[in-house]
Structure formats: structure tokens, C-alpha cells
Amino acid sequence: MIEREANSTPVQQGAIVTLGGRRWDLPEGRSLRIGRQSTCDVKIGAADPGPEDLGVSRLAATVSHAQGRVWIRNESTSQPVRIRPDQGGDYVLDRRGDMISLGDLWLEVVLDGQIRRYTVVVEVPASDRAGERADDQPTASPSTQASLPLTPRERHLLTAVCEPLLVSGGSRRPASYREAASRLGLSDHTVRNQLDAMRSRLGDLGIPGMLGPDAKDELARYAVRSGSITPADLDHLDSPSRRP
């Protein structure tokens, strides 16, 4: 991302992220990493220009813009992330991997260090919201974890991965590739490839968390939390016509 001064020309698409006098453009489908490590786009708590704030995680949060909404994900293993929308109460992402999507035009991402509190402002110009005309009056949208856009094949495959999270007395972890393959009567290789393709497509849409060793499990947990996959989908697992 290219860092620009806060008084520069406004971007035409996506969101604007500011911290003090610094500004970053956040186009549709892109993400910004916030934290103390040098590879973060929005660096907070670093040693330069002041003392290093060890209360800030090296990678604290990710902010993305996708489908006309702002997505925030907690990347820290030890610190919560607080979200302050323009209207309504605060939201707290307590654990690593917790993620929320908001339709608000303005919000703050608040991270507490040992030395100070850091407030990152995210603003979405009204004319850039998906499906909204420039002359529409902005309205406050409730905070949601937006449903994943899934094809019928992807829904069937993801349901098999989510099944342990949905059944009564089930496991707290999603199904493995092998377990999902056995459930669907497919090979491990086929299930892995199809899930990888699904995660790649969703990642291209700007949905965070689609990369890394835990991406499959994070995708499954998010699918259940957001209502993208529900217990009703389990009824179709044994239907031959619904098999991938």
C-alpha cells in the first residue's frame, strides 16, 4: 500500500484508513495489516519515532474492504481489538481469528498498548458503497458477519467440513480433509483441491483469513458463525444430486 498524507486527493474507490496525519488507500478487495512488525502496512507501537510499545502485537489486526463493507479480523494471540462504529455500541474481537463485517461509513479500530492507545479510523465514501448511488443518503447498517457467496458445489463441500461444528454434541473442530472426503465419497486430493480453489476465490473477493495453515478451519468456523452454513444444510449431505 502507498502511504499518503491525510490532506491528499481522496481516493475514488474503496476505503480510506487514517492514523494521526498518515493515510492509506484501501481499494475494494484489498487488506491492510496493523501492528508493530516492520512488514505491517499500518505500523503502531514501533520503536521509531518513540519507544517501542511491547503491549502492541507484532501483527494485531487486518482491515479489509470487500463487497462494499469493511471487514476487521483480530490477528493477535493475546490482545483484543475494539471496534467503534459511528452509531451504536462497541464490538470487541476477543480472540485471534474473530472477524466482523460492518456496513458503516465510518468506524474506529482501537488497540491498547502498554504505553498508549492507538485509534485507526476507517472511512468509506458514500459514493463507493456497493449498490448505492452517489446521491443516496447514507444509512447505518447493523454489524454483521456477512454471508459467504457460495456455489451449490462449494456449499455441499463446506457443509461436510462444518458438520462436526453443527451436530449436537459435535466436536469443536471442523472435519479434516480426510473426514470430509470420506463423508462425501471423494478422494482426499479432490477435497483438498476444491477447498483450495474455494478459498482462493473467496480471498480474491477480499474476504480475510483465506491463507495460511489454519485457513480451512477458519473458513469453516466463519461459515457457521455467519450463518452461511446451517444445520439445515446437513439434510443435503446424503443427497446424490447435491454431491460435488
Structural domain boundaries in the chain: 3-128, 152-242
183-234 pLDDT per residue, tens: 999 999 999 999 999 988 887 776 767 888 888 988 888 888 777 888 888 8
Q: How many Cβ atoms are within 10 Å of 202's Cβ, its own excluded? A: 21
6-18 pLDDT per residue, tens: 444 443 468 999 9
- Residue 82 makes CB contacts below 8 A (sequence gap 6+) with 90, 91, 92, 93, 109, 110, 111, 112
| Beta strands 22-26; 3-5: pairing state | antiparallel
Domain 3-128, CATH = 2.60.200.20
DSSP letters, 72-114, are EEE--SS--EEEEESSS--EEE-STT-EEEE--SEEEEEEE-S
Model pLDDT, residue 138 = 30
> How many whole angstroms separate alpha carbon 209 and alpha carbon 161?
16
Model pLDDT, residue 143 = 42
Q: For residue 26, which of 35, 16, 36 has the smallest C-alpha distance?
A: 16
- Residue 67 makes CB contacts below 8 A (sequence gap 6+) with 130, 146, 205, 206
For the chain, which ranges sit under pLDDT 70? Answer: 1-13, 48-49, 126-147, 169-171, 206, 208, 239-244
> How many whole angstroms separate alpha carbon 101 and alpha carbon 216?
19
177-192 burial string, b = 16+ CB within 10 Å, else e? bebbbebbebeeeebb
Contact, 123 vs 18, CB < 8 A?
yes
